[in-house]
Amino acid sequence: MRISIDDIKAIVGKAKEIDLTEDFCSEDFDFQLLAPLHFKAKAENKGEYILLEGVITTVADLHCDACLAPVKFPVEAEFREAYALNHSVIDEEGEMDIHAFDGGELLIDSELAASVLFSLPMRVLCREDCRGLCPLCGQNLNEGKCVCAEEQIDPRLAVLKNFKFDRSDKEV
């Protein structure tokens, strides 16, 4: 995605609204997007840099980490990046990275991809109480029980089941 900043580049304090929708894919993604990427943001000339701040919305084609079912995951990602107008600010250690750019356009694909990835949860579930797959036969336990649970009682647990605890037995 390209953001034209020709109109604010020369005037400190000048800002513009960005509202762009674009089909987007990235080599950084191991999934596809099921909807175009929508970027709503504000670009502002801060003197030393352009601050680009906004929200990305789209839908990611993920899968449930427990049962592998496809999940249409609604993405809402915060975006906040700075692009140096003055190259001397790039090496300064500040609270945010300041990206370099040339000309009158910001190319923001890699920052968009990073923001989307950062917004995704560590673990995606198709539903809160997903039961996952049986580790023995692979049956999707949301769709019904398999026979493994009944047939294969762990022998160690079977022993415990028959064990009678004697509460009077105290350590000396």
Q: Which is nearer to Zn ion, 117 or 146 (CB)?
A: 146
Q: Is residue 66 involved in binding Zn ion (CB under 5 A)?
A: yes
Provide the minimum distance between the beta carbon of 74 and Zn ion in the complex, in angstroms, as a whole number: 17
Taking the C-alpha atoms of residue 38 and residue 41, their distance in angstroms, rounded to an integer, is 10
Single-letter amino acid, residue 106? L
State which of positions 103-162 bind Zn ion (CB under 5 A).
126, 130, 134, 136-137, 139, 146, 148
**CB closer to Zn ion out of 12 and 136:** 136
d(CA 99, CA 113): 15
- The residue among 62 and 130 lying less far from Zn ion, judged by its C-beta, is 130
| Shortest reach from residue 122's CB to Zn ion, in Å | 15
Q: Please, are residues 49 and 12 in contact by the beta-carbon 8 Å criterion?
A: no
73 binds Zn ion (CB under 5 A): no
Q: Give the one residue of 67, 77, 108, 113 binding Zn ion; rule: CB under 5 A.
A: 67
Is the Cβ–Cβ distance between 112 and 24 less than 8 Å? yes
Helices H / strands E in the chain, number of each: 3, 7
C-alpha 8: how far from its chain's center?
31
- Contacts to Zn ion by CB under 5 A: 64, 66-67, 69, 126, 130, 134, 136-137, 139, 146, 148
